[in-house]
């Protein structure tokens, strides 16, 4: 959803309630939407764990956030290593967190890979598919603590999976999550693979919410979020593709493309239309903190910016639970093999 379409009064970060005493995890928190999410949760008093792959970047981001918030707030932000491409890394990150904490109130699965050429991770998983498998491994490993926290007085446990409106590109392919071969299938476009991975984020949300409710843990709220078209580093995955195939890259075109006369004005238009990270993070911050999530019973909801429930396509709705069940079962098998 482009920024200028949101004319009505919208939810703002000032609406985040006091989070003192709560503990949060944000994956990919050293840049973009994750950075803003870490900062605003910490601003409101949560102890926040930034789970990122590169320690130097994460620690630099933490110091930058502390500088932005100022010494009076004394924000509590810690780092744990997490590589989305490695199931073992996800499990290890969860184990490290469990050694440090006795509760987890907010889990924001924010890290992501977008529109990369076909490549397999060290686990043998197509790297964009790791958007789903990596976050499954982390979430699954943290589920016991999330349930324990939900049993505590005045708990408001949220699991927020950052998807994308791009999940609809999955309709141009044939989703099959019954096997690793199906998950790793080559499609006619990298954007279809990206759509498949973002579809799995929604399917995970659906399946997790169903399993929690059926187990009697009914006060954990799982949501999927499309942040909108945001100017972040997520587009760095497209660097090996022609720049004109992904509009945000137009602002850093080099070489012969610069001579194309339409690119300069088009680049300015694109920059105007894209949301800032501050704007793009609003919907996931709403999902993670707003009391309205419980008041409106937004279980397994898909939110578009800003904080608006959106109907899912038939694939994402997955009414019979076939795709979600396939993905869950496959991820469990992959964890046994790889983690």
In the chain, where the domains are located: 3-230+278-338, 235-274
CB 50 within 8 A of CB 26: yes
Q: Give the pLDDT confidence score for residue 106 in this predicted structure.
A: 98
| Residue 310 annotated in active site | no
What pTM did the predictor assign? 0.87
Structure tokens at 168: 């609809």
Residue 216: count of CB within 10 angstroms of its CB: 8
Q: pLDDT tens per residue, the chain (339 residues)?
A: 344 344 457 889 999 999 999 999 999 999 999 999 999 999 999 999 999 999 999 999 999 999 999 989 999 999 999 999 999 999 999 999 999 999 999 999 999 999 899 999 999 999 999 999 999 999 999 999 999 999 999 999 999 999 999 999 999 999 999 999 999 999 999 999 999 999 999 999 999 999 999 999 999 999 999 998 756 554 444 443 333 333 333 222 333 333 444 444 544 544 556 778 788 899 999 999 999 999 999 999 999 999 999 999 999 999 999 999 999 999 999 999 998
Q: Give the pLDDT confidence score for residue 233 in this predicted structure.
A: 54
Mention every residue, 6+ apart, whose C-beta is less than 8 A from residue 313: 167, 168, 171
Residue 183: which H helix or E strand, with range? helix 180-183
In the set 167, 194, 221, 286, the catalytic residue is: 194
Q: Is 53 exposed, middle or buried (0-12, 13-18, 19+ CB in 10 A)?
A: middle
| Residue 198 annotated in active site | yes
CB 77 within 8 A of CB 66: yes
CB 283 within 8 A of CB 303: yes
In the set 44, 198, 299, 338, the catalytic residue is: 198
Q: Give the pLDDT confidence score for residue 104 in this predicted structure.
A: 98
Which one is the CATH code of 3-230+278-338: 3.40.50.300, 3.40.309.10, 3.20.20.80, 3.40.50.720? Answer: 3.40.50.720
């Amino acid at each position: 959803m482009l920024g200028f379409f949101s004319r009505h009064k919208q939810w703002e970060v000032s609406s985040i309630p006091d989070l003192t005493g709560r503990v949060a995890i944000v994956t990919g928190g050293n840049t973009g939407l994750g950075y803003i999410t870490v900062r605003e949760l910490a601003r409101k008093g949560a102890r926040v764990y930034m789970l990122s792959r590169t320690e130097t970047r994460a620690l630099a981001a933490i110091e930058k956030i502390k500088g932005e918030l100022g010494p009076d707030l004394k924000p509590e932000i810690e780092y744990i290593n997490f590589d989305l491409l490695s199931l073992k890394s996800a499990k290890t990150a969860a184990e490290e967190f469990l050694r440090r904490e006795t509760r987890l109130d907010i889990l924001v699965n924010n890290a992501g890979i977008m529109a990369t050429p076909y490549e397999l991770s060290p686990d043998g998983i197509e790297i964009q598919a790791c958007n789903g498998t990596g976050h499954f491994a982390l979430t699954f490993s943290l589920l016991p603590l999330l349930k324990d926290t939900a049993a505590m007085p005045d708990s408001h446990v949220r699991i927020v999976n950052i998807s994308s409106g791009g999940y609809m590109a999955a309709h141009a392919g044939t989703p099959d999550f019954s096997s690793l071969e199906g998950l790793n299938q080559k499609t006619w476009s990298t954007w279809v693979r990206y759509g498949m991975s973002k579809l799995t984020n929604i399917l995970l949300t659906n399946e997790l919410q169903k399993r929690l409710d059926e187990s009697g843990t009914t006060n954990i709220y799982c949501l999927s979020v499309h942040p909108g078209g945001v100017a972040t580093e997520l587009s760095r995955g497209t660097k090996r593709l022609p720049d004109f195939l992904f509009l945000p890259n137009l602002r850093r075109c080099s070489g012969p493309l610069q001579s194309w006369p339409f690119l300069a004005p088009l680049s300015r238009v694109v920059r105007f239309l894209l949301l800032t990270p501050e704007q793009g993070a609003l919907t996931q911050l709403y999902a993670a903190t707003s009391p309205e999530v419980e008041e409106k019973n937004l279980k397994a909801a898909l939110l578009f910016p800003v904080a608006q429930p959106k109907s899912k396509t038939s694939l994402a709705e997955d009414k019979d639970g076939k795709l979600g069940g396939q993905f869950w079962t496959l991820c469990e098998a992959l964890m046994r093999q790889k983690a």
